[in-house]
Structure 1
């Protein structure tokens, strides 16, 4: 046991190891009896590959470089693939990131394009494919740009021929719906093939504000007839819909203030917990009906479990195992359920539940300890009191290293992590990015500030027109509480976050004196510019609920924007930006830096070519981790080993 100051503890968790384990399996599905899913490859330029688990348990990547299975629909993407067995062999369709075309793939052959390219704006994009071999088509969401602007776009349901006849012919693609609604999700077909259901919503609503569930008849000629809204509205969010084996319609609605499950409008298991979440990506799935009438559910309050719901009794039996968090992806086949689960001691892995035996096991991306797990953090689930006595949920990760203790009465530095979204939350799972800091003697506090999901609609609506207020206050309240109780060093507090978390970080540095420094990652910094066209279509009207309509409250936009108050920043900061980011573009960061110039605030700006919103390349992530640690070392007076010094300019 070594006695060393906080921040100088030697750790086997370096930036390269952290980068190699970034990301997790996603978009599970069945192809015949086989489980398939997508998986990240940070060391291969950040691409996502498609992984197949054969019947004998062998796991293989079925698409080599440079194929990248990832959709750009609404920029955050959606379910990018579908497959089934035809004539004894798998047939898969997938979206390739580079050109956003839909491809058909059969093992042993090169993928063949099914859709054409378009020279207009962002072109043609696809998500949530559904294979219908009897019709010789794949039905999916089509996002089509009609001009060069980010909001020059339309979205419809479309049918793409499986024979490749539309690969060079846009007119060969059948549109199943009109573009009366701005946003649509992929269709779900009833067991008898006679009905289709999907979700729609329109600006300025986000899908967690209000959506409608639409049902239409599927005619013999493959057209959709008489679409009608059966649930939802401007103040009711339907997050997912699907058909049960008996033909009844299941959906998750937050009409009671919590996303609960309904069957033909009747609640199945009314509870003050969530059976769904924010629809940031098309194809998120929190429930899946089984053929025997039971329903697989991802549910919980704050954290999520995988369970089996009996709709007749409302009882849920959760899968036994070490997993304390499940991602919003589910697939069922017979009595088998596949999802993606993790825990504070294990990263996300593909989990299969046999509903007949109740046994759950890992079937893919199995977690392997890259270092002695004694170096992993030991998180605490905490609830703090914020302004006006409101609860603030947080996960606290104290410094932890099995071979080190601090000298005397030294208190540790802490970094407050503000999650993105902001309509999101921080899952309580093993994250080597957190362990990178805690194993060196730097504490981390993940704050689920007001506006976060997982705690009901009232909690997430605390941020309505209060973005830049409630999130900033809640993060500061947690930081100060940790200092006041003697957990953290009041003089060595930092704040960091990406996207909306980058906004909260920058706003915290301009509005408070709580933090000694901050790390701002691909942020929103200029509200007015963001609202007036400097972002993508999906979030182009988001600020109307987060801040208020620009035409009605322009002063509020100026009052809260970090760019407008850059002169208030006195704490050193690190700004990280992807140059291909269309959600929070580099122009936001560049204007902020221009306002900072001449103020003699120590700072560093690192921009990355080829990176968008969310860094995916291993070399990018390594540089970011090391630069962030160097910032804290310089500001807090730490001495981490083997970390390049970040040059701070003034």
Structure 2
């Protein structure tokens, strides 16, 4: 359990970065919000430079920092973990997004590991690092640069949390996903002796226990879905008890490490997010177990809650309000102070806000976010774009989405579908897609479209489907059957689920195996409608070769709308590549509509 391996790091690698004090750049995004005791810190993108920096806002000033000439960010477990930490002396320890290496006051690492999930601990920094054989939990002495391996496993580790002489962490095996099976462990801990007497306190083969956090009195809090919903529990005196049981999700599927969907407030109160379907709220749980929803303008809250006194700091958004950092009062006044927002305030007055629909078919209820167009050529029903989300273990977020507004402002209706397998609806719904990928998700997207057609909200002859990554596979499978889809758009699509089992990142390979257990590749001979393929040539998750082969076969059958390739681009499209992809998608829709004699707004 405790390894004696030690090493040293050397060199200094952190620089100050100018930031505007009043607001962030247009299009900036915010992540990894944390409390510094007297202020807040967060990760902020700078679209003009393309960098991601750490911003620290104290009562006296606001300042930006970054790894020299690079961005701050972590690709731990492929999707990331807390990439920075301010030590008690105010020094910054951060992860270089380009290399995955750790930069500390004494210098930087230079090894084969990827670092992330930083946390404070008794004057040291606790860090999780990963290589292709497993994870290690290490303790870093920032001043000397000494690294000590505390724990190693061929599986996964996350969220180390220290309280006095005890350490808690998340742990799961190499062949499972943390939202299916995850454990909370604790051990006696000291910087000198390391870990002693490790023991499991929650989680198991059919339980996902996540987000450990110590209370001031030594009580250990965590989220668990043992009831079928991720709810808050506390462990003390050798037993666990529910804090605020409810039929709602109070945690986010742990795609990244160090999520914080709840925090402990003074007076033994707890603030936490509560999600029902796509909508999230902020709640305060009182010491007697009673809870109260706080009224905020936000319907989407990122899983990075932080405390500043008795106020909750959060990153919130809504369909008409862009993402912003705010302080929310918990004293009953529900007052909100916005700390940081982009200079592009909220959404345009004509932004389309969704209607939440519930479609019942095939023995299941599917939630759909339906966006009406904000411009139209005439008063008739508009064409429809159905969008299955990526993941697929995720959900559609109820917040301002640039891509959706791009299409609604050009006369299209958009329907986002939380198909079976989505999060936000409990464990059983989340696991319904296991072994059913390419079937249940397709059925739910089809039924959503048929419902909107039958209700007269959209045209019956102009229904498109568009998805990315796993959602791209859903879109491709959807046009392997007759109706109602006229054309499919597949961005960074997984074409061969069986190959994805080997190309997926180490973290996600069990996910791919579970989902692909009864799936088949997309074969051109089965496709019945036109397809637009958009793909990065450097995509390692969904290899471009699969897409090239599919495109060639579709071309021979006259079903290839286009293949848009981006040299040097990986699995995720951003910046100019993302805009080019949107323009190509719009062009494909308009071409299909012109064939029907349908005119669309310019």
| CA-CA distance at 1:313 after TM superposition | 1.9
1:448 aligns with 2:437: no
Residue in 2 that maps onto 1:215: 186
Map 1:290-305; keep pairs closer than 5 Å: 290-302=265-277, 303-305=279-281
Task: Sort the Cα spacing of 1:308 and 1:508 in 2 relative to 1 into closer, same or farther, 3 A.
Answer: same
1:130 aligns with 2:116: no
Looking at structure 2, the residues matched to 337 and 222 of structure 1 have their Cα atoms a distance apart, in angstroms, of: 36
Q: Secondary structure at the match of 2:91?
A: strand
| CA-CA distance at 1:158 after TM superposition | 0.9
* Aligned 8 A contact 2:461 2:486 in 1: yes
Residue in 1 that maps onto 2:13: none
Looking at structure 2, the residues matched to 164 and 103 of structure 1 have their Cα atoms a distance apart, in angstroms, of: 12
Task: Sort the Cα spacing of 1:97 and 1:585 in 2 relative to 1 into closer, same or farther, 3 A.
Answer: farther
Q: Secondary structure at the match of 2:499?
A: helix
| CA-CA distance at 1:101 after TM superposition | 1.2
Residue in 2 that maps onto 1:61: 64
Looking at structure 1, the residues matched to 191 and 545 of structure 2 have their Cα atoms a distance apart, in angstroms, of: 51
* Aligned 8 A contact 1:304 1:326 in 2: yes
| CA-CA distance at 1:498 after TM superposition | 1.0
* Aligned 8 A contact 2:120 2:162 in 1: no
Looking at structure 2, the residues matched to 348 and 361 of structure 1 have their Cα atoms a distance apart, in angstroms, of: 14
Task: Sort the Cα spacing of 1:92 and 1:100 in 2 relative to 1 into closer, same or farther, 3 A.
Answer: same
Q: Secondary structure at the match of 1:415?
A: strand
* Aligned 8 A contact 2:35 2:306 in 1: yes
Q: Secondary structure at the match of 2:66?
A: coil
Q: Secondary structure at the match of 1:474?
A: helix
| CA-CA distance at 1:186 after TM superposition | 2.7
Looking at structure 1, the residues matched to 418 and 215 of structure 2 have their Cα atoms a distance apart, in angstroms, of: 34
1:95 aligns with 2:85: no
Looking at structure 2, the residues matched to 201 and 104 of structure 1 have their Cα atoms a distance apart, in angstroms, of: 28
Looking at structure 2, the residues matched to 444 and 104 of structure 1 have their Cα atoms a distance apart, in angstroms, of: 46
* Aligned 8 A contact 1:520 1:575 in 2: yes
Map 1:25-44; keep pairs closer than 5 Å: 25-44=30-49
Looking at structure 2, the residues matched to 69 and 29 of structure 1 have their Cα atoms a distance apart, in angstroms, of: 15
* Aligned 8 A contact 2:150 2:194 in 1: yes
Residue in 2 that maps onto 1:583: 541
Looking at structure 1, the residues matched to 94 and 57 of structure 2 have their Cα atoms a distance apart, in angstroms, of: 17
Looking at structure 2, the residues matched to 470 and 458 of structure 1 have their Cα atoms a distance apart, in angstroms, of: 14
**Matching residue within 363, 375, 378 for 2:339:** 363
| CA-CA distance at 1:380 after TM superposition | 0.1
* Aligned 8 A contact 2:115 2:130 in 1: yes
Looking at structure 1, the residues matched to 46 and 493 of structure 2 have their Cα atoms a distance apart, in angstroms, of: 25
Looking at structure 2, the residues matched to 138 and 159 of structure 1 have their Cα atoms a distance apart, in angstroms, of: 6
RMSD: 2.2
Map 1:367-516; keep pairs closer than 5 Å: 368-369=344-345, 373-388=348-363, 390-401=364-375, 405-407=376-378, 410-516=380-486
* Alignment deviations for residues 150-198 of structure 1 (CA, whole Å, 9 cap, x no partner): xx33111112231354xxxxxx53111121x5111031112xx111111
Higher relative contact order at CA 8 Å, sep ≥6: structure 1 or structure 2?
Answer: 1
Looking at structure 1, the residues matched to 36 and 482 of structure 2 have their Cα atoms a distance apart, in angstroms, of: 53
1:626 aligns with 2:583: yes
Map 1:482-561; keep pairs closer than 5 Å: 482-531=452-501, 533-548=502-517, 556-557=518-519, 560-561=520-521
| CA-CA distance at 1:513 after TM superposition | 2.9
| CA-CA distance at 1:31 after TM superposition | 2.4
User: Runs (4+) of structure 1 moved beyond 6 Å?
Assistant: none
Looking at structure 1, the residues matched to 226 and 422 of structure 2 have their Cα atoms a distance apart, in angstroms, of: 18
| CA-CA distance at 1:480 after TM superposition | 1.2
* Aligned 8 A contact 2:296 2:334 in 1: no
| CA-CA distance at 1:528 after TM superposition | 1.7
TM-score of the superposition, structure 1-length normalised? 0.83
| CA-CA distance at 1:460 after TM superposition | 1.3
Looking at structure 1, the residues matched to 548 and 578 of structure 2 have their Cα atoms a distance apart, in angstroms, of: 21
Looking at structure 1, the residues matched to 68 and 557 of structure 2 have their Cα atoms a distance apart, in angstroms, of: 46
1:156 aligns with 2:136: yes
* Alignment deviations for residues 246-277 of structure 1 (CA, whole Å, 9 cap, x no partner): 11011110011011111111001111001112
* Aligned 8 A contact 2:271 2:285 in 1: yes
More strand by percentage: 2
| CA-CA distance at 1:458 after TM superposition | 1.6
| CA-CA distance at 1:423 after TM superposition | 0.6
Map 1:297-336; keep pairs closer than 5 Å: 297-302=272-277, 303-310=279-286, 312-336=287-311
* Aligned 8 A contact 1:51 1:59 in 2: yes
Q: What are the ranges of 5 or more consecutive residues in structure 2 without an aligned counterpart?
A: 1-24
User: How many residues are paired up?
Assistant: 569
**Matching residue within 238, 243, 247 for 1:272:** 247
Looking at structure 2, the residues matched to 505 and 445 of structure 1 have their Cα atoms a distance apart, in angstroms, of: 13
Looking at structure 1, the residues matched to 424 and 346 of structure 2 have their Cα atoms a distance apart, in angstroms, of: 31
Residue in 1 that maps onto 2:211: 240
| CA-CA distance at 1:304 after TM superposition | 1.1
* Aligned 8 A contact 2:554 2:560 in 1: no
1:182 aligns with 2:155: yes
1:141 aligns with 2:128: yes
Residue in 1 that maps onto 2:21: none
* Aligned 8 A contact 1:114 1:160 in 2: no
Map 1:602-621; keep pairs closer than 5 Å: 602-616=560-574, 618-621=575-578
Q: Secondary structure at the match of 2:349?
A: helix
Looking at structure 1, the residues matched to 264 and 568 of structure 2 have their Cα atoms a distance apart, in angstroms, of: 40
Looking at structure 2, the residues matched to 69 and 641 of structure 1 have their Cα atoms a distance apart, in angstroms, of: 41
| CA-CA distance at 1:360 after TM superposition | 2.2
Looking at structure 1, the residues matched to 537 and 308 of structure 2 have their Cα atoms a distance apart, in angstroms, of: 42
TM-score of the superposition, structure 2-length normalised? 0.90
Residue in 2 that maps onto 1:108: none
Q: Secondary structure at the match of 2:151?
A: coil
* Aligned 8 A contact 2:500 2:541 in 1: no
Q: Secondary structure at the match of 2:259?
A: coil
* Aligned 8 A contact 1:320 1:360 in 2: no
Looking at structure 2, the residues matched to 31 and 430 of structure 1 have their Cα atoms a distance apart, in angstroms, of: 29
